[in-house]
């Protein structure tokens, strides 16, 4: 079973919360916007990239504006005269060492790819949706992991240091180091975590995998 | 939960990215491939010449420059204004009025219920709870309609579905107290840390 | 009633704005269960009639007490919306009664909540 996908997971379209039958039909509770709120809150808004892009464009256009306005009014240029700039650009790669040109180009290329990816990829946040008749509820994965870790700890009768839970979109990994001399049943632990997960009913429901460490902790 | 224009963000970021990509690609090719360099020098100087003859024929009478520069300036200003407006849209959306009704009952005049009522009521109800490390409530505007955003930070190990059920019950109590159901969004979170990393690790 | 007049109002008495404001605030305080000093009243002329604009908090039961006992909402006079609509009429009657001023409208904006458990705040 593959581990949770990385940033390059191919998106399968805007993934909206699944079957509306999972929780009370939002239409009947008078909230037609519920699906949209949930879709919004589980993906990144790309506000950060937007701010960076906007500022860069403003800076470039601002400078071009300065030079153009200066030229239009007939005054001498500030840094580079637009005419001279155009001459130099059309003469490329003549006046510039190729290594510099290539490096700048590569940087721009990489940045461009980064922005395009930011635009296309869904940017899912580490969150799950919970069913609720009245409100749109979204839970951070860390909170889910914390609750499951507690349940696992109690079920296995070990300390906090012996349990580590990793929650990703479709999988919950429970890593346990048993106490030396006190064997644990993987099956029981798995059943306990799955039961808690069923009560929680997160969406999408992750599968549980229990990893029992081969070495135990002495005298816990 | 706010009014950040998500689709617009992605479109504009995509266009910006494509522009950067194109320019970057061009520079790399110019540096690496002589054939491209030759083509570029020819094509671009031709294009620039055409622009220049264009600007020759559009001189402002009595001035030494063509009015094309003025057009360019206006265009640049327009782009800058658009970018500033775009920037301003990020993170918008807080609102203040939860319920507004005009001329209800016998007496003319509006009845407006401010978001502060719901915020205070919910905050007070969530304040003393031992299972929470923090709670915030805010009113926002969602597609022209008011909504409530409740953010709670549970302590370690608290079961989120139980917490959600209790907060939801409080919201239903609020509905009864106010007299109207407002769309509510509950975020059970762990603070700022949930932004980073796809897999969350907790002991 | 005071003699000094700042404006001419329809009605038998001439009464100055300050006294009118006090009357309006007291009426709102009584209708909504909050202290009069928390109420803000503003006046506007509307074609010769007086328009009253109020900004005030309102007394409500705590949400946890409502969960335990849903009838608390009714004991406060109902949901906020109904109470405020009723308060408009009550305030208008009271102001007209005490001052003779003819009000054309009463606008109320509920700015906040005073959470009281165990009866209304007087």
pLDDT of residue A15: 35
Calculate helix-pair angle for A47-73, B6-32, nearest 10 degrees: 60
Whether residue B80 is found in the same domain as residue B127: no
Name the band, by pLDDT with cuts 50, 70 and 90, for residue B1: low
B101 and B85 both lie in a single domain: no
Residue C36 domain flag: yes
Q: Which domain holds residue B126?
A: 97-195
Cα end-to-end distance, chain B, whole Å: 29
Mean pLDDT of chain B: 84
**Residue C3 domain flag:** no
CATH number of the domain at B117, please. 3.30.70.1350
Question: In B, what residues contact C, Cβ < 8 A?
Answer: 99, 101, 104-114, 116-117, 120-122, 124-125, 169-170, 173-174, 176-180
Query: Within a domain: residue B137?
Result: yes
* Contact status of A164 with chain B (Cβ, < 8 Å): yes
Q: Say if the Cβ atoms of A136 and B45 lie within 8 Å.
A: no
Chain B contact for C111 (CB, 8 A cutoff): yes
Closest Cα to residue B71, out of B54, B49, B50? B54
Domain contains C79: yes
Between residues C49 and A165, which one has the greater pLDDT? A165
Residue C73 sits in a domain whose CATH number is 3.30.70
Q: Where are the domains of chain A?
A: 47-120, 126-212
Q: What percent of chain B has pLDDT over 70?
A: 88
Nearest to A111 by CA among A151, A57, A161: A57
> Domain A126-212, what architecture?
2-Layer Sandwich (3.30)
Per-residue pLDDT at A94 exceeds 50: yes
Q: Which of A138-152, A193-207, B178-192 has the lowest mean pLDDT?
A: B178-192
DSSP secondary structure code for residue B176 in this structure: H
Give the number of domains in chain C: 1
Residue A46 to residue B31, Cβ atoms within 8 A: no
In this prediction the pTM is 0.77
Task: State the pairing for strand pair B145-154/B132-142.
Answer: antiparallel
Best to test chain B binding among C81, C90, C91 (most B CBs inside 10 Å): C81
Instruction: Report the pLDDT averaged over residues A147-169.
Output: 91
In DSSP terms, which residues pair with C52 in a beta bridge?
C43, C106
Residue B34 pLDDT: 81
pLDDT of residue B166: 94
The pLDDT-based confidence of A220 (bands split at 50, 70, 90) is: low
Residue of A nearest to B26 (CA): A105
Per-residue pLDDT, averaged over B115-133, amounts to 91
In a domain, residue B201? The reply is no
- State yes or no: pLDDT of A74 exceeds 80: no
What pLDDT is attached to residue C11? 57
pLDDT digits (tens, 9 = 90+) for A178-188: 988 888 889 99
HSE toward the beta carbon, residue B105, CA cutoff 13 A: 22
CA distance A88 to chain B (A): 10
Q: Are strands A163-167 and B200-202 parallel, antiparallel or unpaired?
A: antiparallel
What is the sign, positive or negative, of the torsion defined by CA atoms of B88, B93, B95, B101? Answer: positive
What pLDDT does B200 receive? 56
Q: How far is C73 from chain B (nearest CA, A)?
A: 6
Best of B97, B100, B113, B172 to substitute, by most chain C Cβ atoms within 10 angstroms, is B113
Measured CA to CA, the distance from residue B89 to residue A159 in angstroms comes to 48
Question: Does residue B157 contact residue A88 with C-beta atoms inside 8 Å?
Answer: no
What is the average pLDDT across B147-159? 91
Residue among B16, B73, B165 whose CB faces A53 most closely: B16
Lowest mean pLDDT among B18-27, B35-44, B78-87, B188-197: B188-197
Backbone angles phi, psi at A124, to 5 degrees: -65, 135
Q: For the ranges A59-63, B129-133, C117-121, which has the lowest average pLDDT?
A: C117-121
The answer to whether residues B114 and B68 belong to one domain is no
Test B28 with A118 for CB contact under 8 angstroms: no
Task: Give the domain extent around C42.
Answer: 17-115
| ipTM summary value | 0.79
Check CB contact under 8 Å for A4 and B25.
no
Q: Inter-chain contact B24–A105, Cβ cutoff 8 Å?
A: yes
- Identify the band that residue C107 occupies on the pLDDT scale cut at 50, 70 and 90: very high
Mean pLDDT score of chain A = 81
Contact B104 C85 (CB under 8 A): yes
Q: How many residues does chain C have?
A: 122
3-state secondary structure B6-62: HHHHHHHHHHHHHHHHHHHHHHHHHHHCHHHHHHHHHHHHHHHHHHHHHHHCCECCC
pLDDT over 90 percentage in chain B: 42
B59: left (phi over 0), alpha (psi -120 to 50) or beta: beta
pLDDT of residue A8: 40
Contact of C34 with C56, CB cutoff 8 Å:
yes
| CB pair distance less than 8 Å for B171 and A134 | yes
Task: Average the pLDDT over B14-29 and give the result.
Answer: 92
What are the helix (H) ranges across B33-144?
34-56, 68-89, 115-127
pLDDT at A111 over 90: yes
pLDDT of residue A9 exceeding 60, the answer is no
pLDDT at C122 (0 to 100): 38
For strands B110-114 and C103-115, give the pairing: parallel
- What is the rounded distance in angstroms from the CA atom of residue A123 to the CA atom of residue A117? 10
Measuring CA to CA, how many Å separate A81 from each of A57, A109, B47? 20, 26, 18
How many Å apart are CA B139 and CA B94, to the nearest integer? 6
| C59 in a structural domain | yes
Mean pLDDT to the nearest integer, C42-69: 90
Q: How far is B108 from chain A (nearest CA, A)?
A: 28
Contact call for C84 and B111, based on CB within 8 A = yes
Which of A136, A135, A126 is CA-nearest to residue A43? A126
* Residue bearing tokens 């301003």: B88
Q: Which residue of C has its CA nearest to B179?
A: C79
- As for how many domains chain B has, the answer is 2
* Shortest alpha-carbon distance between residue A190 and chain B (Å): 17
Q: What pLDDT, in 10s, does the model give residues C8-43?
A: 655 555 568 888 899 999 999 999 999 999 999 999
- Is the domain of B146 the same as that of B122? yes
Domain check: are B182 and B104 in the same one?
yes
Q: Name every chain C residue with its beta carbon within 8 A of the beta carbon of B170.
A: 63-64, 67
Q: Could you tell me if residue B200 is inside a domain?
A: no
Is A59 a residue whose pLDDT tops 80? yes
Q: Are residues B15 and B70 in the same domain?
A: yes
Q: Which residues of C touch B123 (CB under 8 A)?
A: none
CB contact under 8 A, C108 and B120: no
Residue of B nearest to C72 (CA): B177
Residue B152 lies in a domain: yes
CB C103 within 8 A of CB C92: yes
Q: What is the mean pLDDT of residues A92-109?
A: 84
Between CA A62 and CA A68 the distance in angstroms is: 10
Note the residue count of chain A.
220
Rounded distance, CA B96 to CA B116, Å?
7
The residue-averaged pLDDT of C78-90 equals 91
In a domain, B203, yes or no: no
Query: In 3-state terms, what secondary structure has residue A176?
Result: strand
Whether C60 is in a domain gets the answer yes
Residues B184 and B104 placed together within one structural domain of the fold: yes
**Is pLDDT of B56 > 60?**
yes
């Amino acid at each position: 079973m593959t581990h949770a996908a990385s940033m390059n997971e191919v998106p399968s379209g805007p993934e909206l919360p699944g079957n509306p039958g999972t929780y009370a039909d939002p239409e009947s509770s008078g909230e037609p916007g519920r699906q949209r709120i949930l879709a919004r809150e589980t993906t990144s808004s790309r506000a950060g990239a937007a701010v960076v892009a906007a500022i860069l464009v403003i800076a470039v256009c601002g400078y071009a504006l300065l030079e153009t306005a200066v030229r239009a009014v007939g005054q001498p240029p500030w840094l580079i005269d637009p005419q001279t700039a155009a001459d130099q650009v059309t003469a490329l790669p003549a006046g510039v060492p190729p290594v510099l040109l290539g490096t700048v180009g590569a940087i721009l290329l990489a940045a461009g790819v980064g922005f395009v990816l930011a635009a296309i990829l869904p940017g899912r946040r580490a969150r799950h949706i919970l069913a609720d008749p009245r409100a749109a509820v979204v839970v951070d994965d860390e909170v889910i992991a914390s609750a499951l870790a507690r349940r696992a700890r109690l079920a296995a009768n070990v300390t906090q240091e012996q349990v580590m839970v990793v929650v990703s979109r479709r999988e919950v990994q429970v890593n346990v180091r048993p106490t030396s001399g006190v064997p644990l049943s993987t099956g029981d632990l798995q059943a306990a975590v799955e039961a808690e997960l069923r009560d929680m009913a997160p969406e999408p429901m992750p599968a549980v995998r229990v990893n029992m460490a081969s070495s135990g902790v002495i005298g816990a | 939960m706010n009014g950040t224009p998500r689709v617009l963000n992605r479109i504009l970021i995509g266009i910006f990215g494509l522009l950067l990509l194109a320019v970057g690609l061009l520079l790399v090719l110019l540096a690496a491939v002589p054939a491209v360099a030759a083509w570029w020098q020819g094509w671009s100087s031709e294009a620039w010449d055409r622009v220049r003859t264009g600007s020759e024929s559009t001189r402002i009478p009595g001035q030494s420059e063509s009015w094309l520069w003025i057009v360019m300036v206006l265009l640049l200003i327009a782009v800058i204004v658009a970018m500033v407006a775009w920037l301003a849209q990020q993170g918008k959306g807080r609102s203040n009025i939860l319920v507004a009704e005009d001329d209800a009952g016998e007496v003319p005049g509006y009845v407006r219920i401010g978001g502060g009522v719901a915020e205070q009521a919910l905050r007070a109800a969530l304040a003393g709870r031992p299972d929470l490390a923090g709670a915030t409530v805010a009113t926002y505007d969602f597609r022209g309609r008011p909504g409530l955003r409740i953010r709670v930070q549970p302590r370690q190990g608290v079961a989120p579905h139980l917490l959600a059920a209790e907060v939801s019950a409080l919201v239903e109590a609020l509905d009864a107290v106010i007299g109207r159901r407002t769309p509510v969004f509950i975020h059970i979170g762990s603070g700022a840390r949930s932004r980073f990393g796809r897999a969350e690790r907790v002991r | 009633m005071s003699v000094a007049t700042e404006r001419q109002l329809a009605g038998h008495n001439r009464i100055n704005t300050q006294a009118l404001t006090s009357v309006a605030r007291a009426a709102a305080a009584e209708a909504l269960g909050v202290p009069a000093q928390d109420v803000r009243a503003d006046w506007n002329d509307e074609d010769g009639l007086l328009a009253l604009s109020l900004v005030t908090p309102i007394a409500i039961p705590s949400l946890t007490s409502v969960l335990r006992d849903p009838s608390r909402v009714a004991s406060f006079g109902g949901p906020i919306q109904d109470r405020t609509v009723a308060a408009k009429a009550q305030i208008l009657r009271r102001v007209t009664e005490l001052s003779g001023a003819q009000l054309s409208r009463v606008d109320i904006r509920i700015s906040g909540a005073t959470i009281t458990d165990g009866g209304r705040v007087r």
